Structure 1
Amino acid sequence: MIIAIDGPAASGKGTIARRLAAHYGLPHLDTGLLYRAVGAGALEKAVDFEDVDTLAALAGALDLSALDPESLRAGPIGEAASRVAAIPEVRAKLLMLQQEFAHQPGGAVLDGRDIGTVIAPDAPVKIFVTATPEARAARRHKELVGRGEDVTPESVLDDIRKRDQRDSSRSSAPLIAAADAEIIDNTALDVAASVAAALAIAERRRPR
């Protein structure tokens, strides 16, 4: 069983994906970490974000087992990830890696922005998680402050809106709900209610 969970930044899709993966005993991949890793590599090596060949080479050299989620969640890396994710050559390098993970024996849970439309369009369970920019910015601000980052609510909201615009308007695999995805708007939902809604969808749509 493949479960594809898509949505914009700070929508809660990662939390839902992890909970569903634990519930069904499936491996989970936060595909955003792949782009964060490429973005982090670009920042570390001072790579120009117009240098497509070098960025694609960084993507091609990624090792899933070496990803460190905590270190990849810093604020500047999120912005860099959004920029490299808009580059078709980077996305092409990461496509096969994600598809192999999705189609491993028994299935998997993947969350990102193009899982149901590009990575695993054949997934029986497709969920698109969203919330208002203001609600998502408030969540992200709380998360960043909790990690000791000095950010303002206004700057986080501005970043969320910029990332939404970039993710939705890019030419390669734009952020969009798959035609057959079920939508969860969790603006007014807590984590437990969001997970319960996703689990209900998965139970209804998973192969028997």
Structure 2
Amino acid sequence: MTIPRVITIDGPAGSGKSTLGANLATQLGYIYFDTGIMYRALTLAVIEAHCDPHDAVAVTQLAEQSLISVHAPTHDDGRQYTIMLNGRDVTWDIRQQSVEKTVSIAAAHPTVRQILRARQRAIGLQGNVVMVGRDIGSIVIPEAPLKIYLDVSIAERAHRRVAELTARGESIDVVQLTESIRVRDERDRHVMQPATDAVHINGDTDTPAQTLAYVLQLVANCPALR
């Protein structure tokens, strides 16, 4: 079987995996595919349909019926991709707070993940793609020649988020933020499945540029990606 030219990056929320994935894809001329946007698009459909995100049967039915597709950017407005939901551009809609608060609930159902994983795999097998998510290297594309697991401590993720919000002139309760990250991690624990052969990277101390440089070296040393 031909090994697809795919690099997978898994890790917890706020670990910087999306930044790493986007920068890596740019450097390599690959497609950047944040698989989480598919779950966000489905969650938007759940909210708009006034569906209970805890209802596995209803959410699964929506997953089966919803046409979700990911494309290269169609507008020069800062987007890294265009995501369509039933023929509608929802690239920015999926960033709403209501989606942010609900996505980990709607995405937790095994039947939902099974449906979307199949769609994600189809995109990945086209090759020349950097895929970012929670279980890409272990479940979606286990044959990927290079798998990364990027981990960052809760304390460091909270610190980065506080710095980001402060820079925007917003205030945040650090204790409350730290707890919300812990709760999110616990909720995501059952879907967070690092591949056994993934290269584990601790992002607590390195800058994004240093992490990118390290991964680029891994790519250079991977025969299947040359």
TM-score of the superposed pair, with normalisation by structure 2: 0.80
- Runs of 5+ unmatched residues, structure 2: 71-82
Instruction: Find the counterpart in structure 2 of residue 181 from structure 1.
Output: 198
Give, in whole Å, the separation in 1 of the partners of 2:172 and 2:41.
22
Contact 1:79/1:163 (8 A) holds in 2: no
State the AA in 2 paired with 1:191: P
The match for 2:115 is 93
Structure 1 residues 137 and 58, CA gap change in structure 2 (3 angstroms): farther
How many residues align structurally? 203
Query: Whole-Å Cα distance in 1 between the matches of residues 223 and 130 of structure 2?
Result: 12
For the 8 Å contact 2:54–2:105, the answer to whether it is kept is no
Task: Please list the CA deviations of residues 69-127 of structure 1 after superposition, one character each: whole Å capped at 9, or x if unmatched.
Answer: 444234442331111221011111201110011001x4311000000000100000100
> What is the alpha-carbon distance in structure 1 between the residues aligned to residue 20 and residue 117 of structure 2?
22
Q: Does 1:12 align with 2:16?
A: yes
Amino acid at match of 1:33: I
Query: Which structure 2 residues correspond to residues 76-115 of structure 1 after superposition, within 5 A?
Result: 76-104=98-126, 106-115=127-136
RMSD: 2.2
In structure 1, stretches of 5+ residues that fail to align are none
Q: Is the 8 A contact 1:49 1:55 kept in 2?
A: yes
**TM-score after normalising by structure 1:** 0.87
Identity %: 34
Kept in 2, the 8 Å contact 1:6–1:129? The answer is yes
The answer to whether structure 1 residue 135 and structure 2 residue 156 are counterparts is yes
Between the aligned partners of 2:130 and 2:177, the Cα distance in structure 1 is 28
Q: Check whether the contact 2:54–2:106 (CA below 8 A) recurs between aligned residues.
A: no
Partner of 1:39: 43
Corresponding residue for 2:32?
A: 28
SS in 2 for 1:63: strand
* C-alpha distance in structure 2 between counterparts of 1:30 and 1:127, whole Å: 14
CA contact (8 A) 1:6 1:112 kept: yes
Out of 62-71 and 21-30, give the one that drifted further.
62-71
Provide Cα deviations, 1:144-192, integer angstroms capped at 9, x if missing partner: 5667876433332222111111111x2xxx2132111001111112111
- Residue 71 and residue 195 in structure 1: after superposition, are their counterparts in 2 closer, same or farther (change >3 A)? farther
Which of these residues, 179, 193, 218, is aligned with residue 158 of structure 1?
A: 179
Which protein is bigger by CA-based radius of gyration?
2
Distance change (3 Å), C-alpha of 1:73 and 1:159: farther
Structure number having the greater helix percentage: 1
Give per-residue Cα distances to partners, 1:13-66, cap 9 Å, x unaligned: 001111111111111110111112222332333321222232123323123342
